[in-house]
DNA sequence: CTGTTAGCGCCTTCAA
DNA sequence: TTGAAGGCGCTAACAG
């Protein structure tokens, strides 16, 4: 295989030194116009493209970030990924996609791999509550930002929605529709997100003086099939909730699926409210009521702030205040919730 | 910032040469056990992780692939991405996610960027019919595989479903349900996929001696809003089709949305059949009838074959036969199609 | 304004 | 079984 042409080849062809080629490539100001043109011409003729790997090695920056998500097929994550990749492209960053399937071990593996790959920074969407590895990252001042997660750490960077308030809003919405027997598809407690939603949920129950039937609560994994099976079983019970607060739209889809398969009409026989406001929720064929996260804004804030952090680091600036942003949630009432 | 520790530091600590460290890292066979252990211990103590960037530069391989998709929020793509990232992780490859938003210019930009990044290979999902840049890639024997696309090129690698046959199956399904006035949400003709579906569709119409009302055909972009608007308008017309073949499930969701907003009942007033069989289609709350692609199988085949191609290249093996796989489609009849 | 030179951290012959 | 030395292609002082 013929070896690829490099900056030396260009230099030779243009009759200059290799460093001049490098200067042209980097838009260095003080270059004679003619020299620059010669180089540019040589580059064109040789179809030269600079080796970003070598550049990274010399530069100590890769212009690559890692994006770790729990499940890319969850629309909340894929919609976020879309925003993030777009902004990344605008800023000349590459995005390495890491899908953990909500598996902690995989998360850790990915973090190590990304560090070996010398990525400039990492966005972690779907961190568990107390991940040692992630704390380490913050301890080491590695540029990381949590997306839709929070970790108690004085140097932690995060952008998240107010999950606590969001959960309260959900209960409020259901309560005002006359519901008193509320079921809760919570998902696993180990995530920060779900944890906070749990606390918010409980506090709202207390507020309204409602009591929770423990049989009405799902705290297992996010898996579609499991949620589906649980809901199906729940709905067959003689005593069942009149409504369900579901901690993610993705799971809410499984709930609707289960209800539909049991011929339970929504919302007359069962109200369902989700969380996230994935774009499908707004589809009027589905019309999922939900607690909305300002997803686009969050995604933008996450990456833009990460970029600031990364650049600060590459300029060897002293670390400044951590980025800790919490945005408000908002209820969208659609077709799947109705008066009791 | 203190510089990161490298193999020399490890070597010094272990009292060996750097090349020995390198050998340990690469599982070179002929190393004395004790030496190896010394090195391993030093690595551990220093928390050394090798710099994959430097390794890539020396090695001329990055163990990174590019995954170019039209729209990651389309479940067909995100579900494919999930499979691909998993298999990539199993094989120690990183995946750079490139979301083109179905924009050709963006596609070209991404290809250039990935080549500069020296990725070992590229998977392109959603290629347009006659993209020069992609042809170039094949001309240059760059490891690329098209996913769910086909290009007429003797060296082209691709894994795709039989779109032609799939479209025929859709028409057959509708025909057998008694439908004669078929509408077609085709999407833009410029993609290979859609192009072949178009041909298949037309051939089926001919076969059944059906004629197509040109007003019943949508050939604009994949954008949700546009499909929604078109469908809404179409359904308000006094003369409208009794059923719709929609060239992707993603668009079918927009169609259902529009129908629902017009209070048109599905399937009694309008049958809808999609294409892809995204997992949501199987959700019984939605129950979208569709032409299924064997997505998981396709994704696996695409990456596994790409890996073979990449390894072949790094071993400087002569190029062999191109990978050209076409799988069968299959109709899944669910809730959105019914007898006329 | 431009060339020279020394790295960046690793891999890989070649000798020993 | 190990060490020495020369790349991989680029950047970044430092001279001139």
Is the pLDDT higher at A291 or at A315?
A291
If asked whether residues A169 and A263 sit together in one domain, one would say yes
Q: Touching check for A225 and chain B: CB below 8 Å?
A: no
B79: CATH: 3.40.50.2300
A50: CATH: 1.10.260.40
Residue nearest to nucleotide D11 (CA to C1'): A58
Q: Which of residues 44-73 of A touch strand D (CB under 7 A)?
A: 50-51, 54-55, 57-59
The answer to whether residue B274 scores a pLDDT higher than 50 is yes
| Domain end among A34, A59, A84 | A59
If asked whether residues A106 and A253 sit together in one domain, one would say no
At residue A229, the pLDDT reads 96
Report CA(A60)–C1'(D12) in Å, whole number.
12
Q: Touching check for B63 and chain A: CB below 8 Å?
A: no
Q: Helices B18-25 & B33-46, crossing angle to 10 degrees? A: 90
If asked whether residues A80 and A70 sit together in one domain, one would say yes
* Any domain includes B333: no
For residue B92, give every residue at least 6 positions away whose Cβ sits within 8 Å of its Cβ, in sequence order, or none.
B63
Residue A159 exposed, middle or buried by CB count within 10 Å (0-12, 13-18, 19+): buried
Residue pair A161/A148 in contact (Cβ under 8 Å)? The answer is yes
Output the six-digit token pair for A234.
């729940």
| Any strand C atom closer than 7 Å to A30 CB | yes
Average pLDDT, integer, range B233-254: 96
Give percent of chain A above pLDDT 90.
Answer: 87
Residue pair B267/B338 in contact (Cβ under 8 Å)? The answer is yes
**What residues pair up with B274 in beta bridges, in sequence order?**
B290
If asked whether residues A215 and A137 sit together in one domain, one would say no
Angle at B188 between CA B107 and CA B112, to 5 degrees: 5
Count CB-CB contacts under 10 A for residue A181. Answer: 16
If asked whether residues A265 and A215 sit together in one domain, one would say yes
**What residues pair up with B121 in beta bridges, in sequence order?**
B65
At residue B3, the pLDDT reads 59
If asked whether residues A239 and A149 sit together in one domain, one would say no
Residue pair B316/B302 in contact (Cβ under 8 Å)? The answer is no
If asked whether residues B187 and B283 sit together in one domain, one would say yes
In which band, very low, low, confident or very high, does the pLDDT at A40 lie, cut at 50, 70 and 90? very high
pLDDT per residue over A75-96, tens digit each? 999 999 999 999 999 999 999 9
Three-state SS string over B161-219 comes to: ECHHHHHHHHHHHHHHCCCCCEEEECCCCCEHHHHHHHHHHHHHHHHHCCCCCHHHEEC
In which band, very low, low, confident or very high, does the pLDDT at B137 lie, cut at 50, 70 and 90? very high
* Any domain includes B337: no
Is the Cβ pair A117, B94 closer than 8 Å? yes
Q: State CA A264 to chain mean position distance.
A: 33
* Any domain includes B105: yes
If asked whether residues A180 and A323 sit together in one domain, one would say no
In which band, very low, low, confident or very high, does the pLDDT at A2 lie, cut at 50, 70 and 90? very low
C-alpha–C-alpha distance, residues B138 and B108, integer Å: 14
Residue pair A235/A272 in contact (Cβ under 8 Å)? The answer is no
**Nearest alpha carbon to residue A72 among B99, B114, B254:** B99
* Any domain includes A30: yes
If asked whether residues B184 and B216 sit together in one domain, one would say yes
B-chain residues within 8 Å CB-CB of A317? none
At residue B18, the pLDDT reads 93
Average pLDDT, integer, range B314-339: 89
At residue A285, the pLDDT reads 85
Give percent of chain B above pLDDT 90.
Answer: 88
Output the six-digit token pair for A197.
């939603």
| Any strand D atom closer than 7 Å to B198 CB | no
At residue A30, the pLDDT reads 86
| Domain end among B59, B86, B102 | B59
At residue B1, the pLDDT reads 38
A-chain residues within 8 Å CB-CB of B72? 72, 78, 81-82, 85
Average pLDDT, integer, range A100-104: 93
At residue B2, the pLDDT reads 45
pLDDT per residue over A10-33, tens digit each? 999 999 999 999 999 998 888 898
Phi, psi of B94 (to 5 degrees): -95, 155
If asked whether residues A152 and A231 sit together in one domain, one would say no
Residue pair B16/B35 in contact (Cβ under 8 Å)? The answer is yes
For residue B275, give every residue at least 6 positions away whose Cβ sits within 8 Å of its Cβ, in sequence order, or none.
B166, B167, B170, B197, B245, B246, B247, B248, B249, B252, B290, B291, B293
Average pLDDT, integer, range B21-28: 93
Mean predicted lDDT score pLDDT of chain A: 94
DSSP of A28-93: -S---HHHHHHHHHHHHHHT----HHHHHHHHT---EEEEEES-TTSHHHHHHHHHHHHHHHHTT-
Q: Which alpha helices (DSSP H) does B15-128 contain, by range?
A: 18-25, 33-46, 52-59, 75-90, 104-116
The answer to whether residue A323 scores a pLDDT higher than 50 is yes
DSSP of B274-320: EEE--GGGG-TTT--EEEEP-HHHHHHHHHHHHHHHHHHHHTTPPP-
pLDDT per residue over B51-67, tens digit each? 999 999 999 999 999 99
If asked whether residues B259 and B170 sit together in one domain, one would say yes
Is the pLDDT higher at B76 or at A126?
B76
The answer to whether residue A234 scores a pLDDT higher than 60 is yes
In which band, very low, low, confident or very high, does the pLDDT at B126 lie, cut at 50, 70 and 90? confident
pLDDT per residue over B186-217, tens digit each? 999 988 889 999 999 999 999 999 999 999 99
Phi, psi of B293 (to 5 degrees): -100, 140
Q: Touching check for B120 and chain A: CB below 8 Å?
A: no
* Any domain includes A238: yes
**What residues pair up with A217 in beta bridges, in sequence order?**
A184
Count CB-CB contacts under 10 A for residue A105. Answer: 8
Domains held by chain A: number: 3
C-alpha–C-alpha distance, residues A109 and B90, integer Å: 11
* Any domain includes B47: yes
The answer to whether residue A42 scores a pLDDT higher than 70 is yes
Average pLDDT, integer, range A56-83: 96
Average pLDDT, integer, range A315-323: 78
Phi, psi of B214 (to 5 degrees): -60, -25
At residue B205, the pLDDT reads 97
If asked whether residues B171 and B269 sit together in one domain, one would say yes
Average pLDDT, integer, range B22-48: 92
Mean predicted lDDT score pLDDT of chain B: 94
Q: Touching check for B86 and chain A: CB below 8 Å?
A: yes
Domain containing B37: what range?
Answer: 7-59
Q: Supply the pTM of this predicted model.
A: 0.95
Output the six-digit token pair for A163.
């999950």
Smallest Cβ–Cβ distance between B52 and the set A97, A117, A259 belongs to A117
């Amino acid at each position: 295989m013929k070896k690829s042409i490099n900056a030396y080849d260009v230099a030779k062809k243009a009759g200059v030194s290799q460093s001049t080629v490098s200067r042209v490539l980097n838009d260095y100001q003080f270059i004679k116009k003619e020299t620059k043109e010669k180089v540019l011409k040589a580059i064109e003729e040789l179809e030269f493209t600079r080796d970003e790997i070598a550049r990274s090695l010399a530069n100590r920056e890769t212009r690559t970030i890692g994006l770790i998500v729990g499940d890319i097929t969850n629309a909340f994550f894929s919609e976020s990924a879309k925003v993030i990749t777009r902004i990344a492209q605008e800023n000349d960053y590459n995005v390495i996609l890491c899908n953990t399937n909500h598996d902690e071990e995989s998360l850790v593996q990915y973090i190590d791999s990304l560090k070996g790959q010398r990525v400039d920074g990492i966005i972690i969407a779907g961190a568990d509550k107390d991940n040692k590895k992630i704390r380490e990252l913050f301890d080491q001042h590695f540029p990381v930002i949590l997306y839709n997660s929070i970790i108690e750490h004085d140097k932690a960077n995060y952008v998240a929605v107010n999950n606590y308030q969001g959960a309260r809003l959900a209960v409020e919405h259901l309560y005002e529709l006359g519901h008193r027997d509320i079921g809760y598809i919570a998902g696993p407690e180990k995530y920060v997100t779900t944890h906070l939603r749990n606390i918010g949920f409980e506090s709202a129950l207390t507020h309204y003086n409602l009591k929770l039937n423990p049989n009405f609560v799902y705290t297992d994994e996010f898996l579609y099939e499991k949620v589906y099976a649980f809901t199906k079983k729940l709905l067959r019970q003689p005593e069942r909730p009149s409504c369900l607060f579901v901690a993610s739209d993705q799971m809410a889809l499984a709930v609707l699926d289960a209800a539909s398969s049991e011929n339970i009409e929504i919302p007359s026989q069962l109200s369902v409210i989700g969380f996230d406001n994935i774009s499908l929720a707004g589809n009027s064929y589905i019309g999922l009521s939900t607690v909305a996260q300002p997803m686009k804004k969050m995604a933008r804030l996450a990456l833009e702030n990460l970029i600031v952090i990364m650049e600060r680091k590459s300029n060897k600036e002293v670390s400044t205040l951590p980025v800790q942003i919490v945005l408000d949630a908002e209820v969208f009432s659609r077709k799947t919730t109705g008066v009791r």
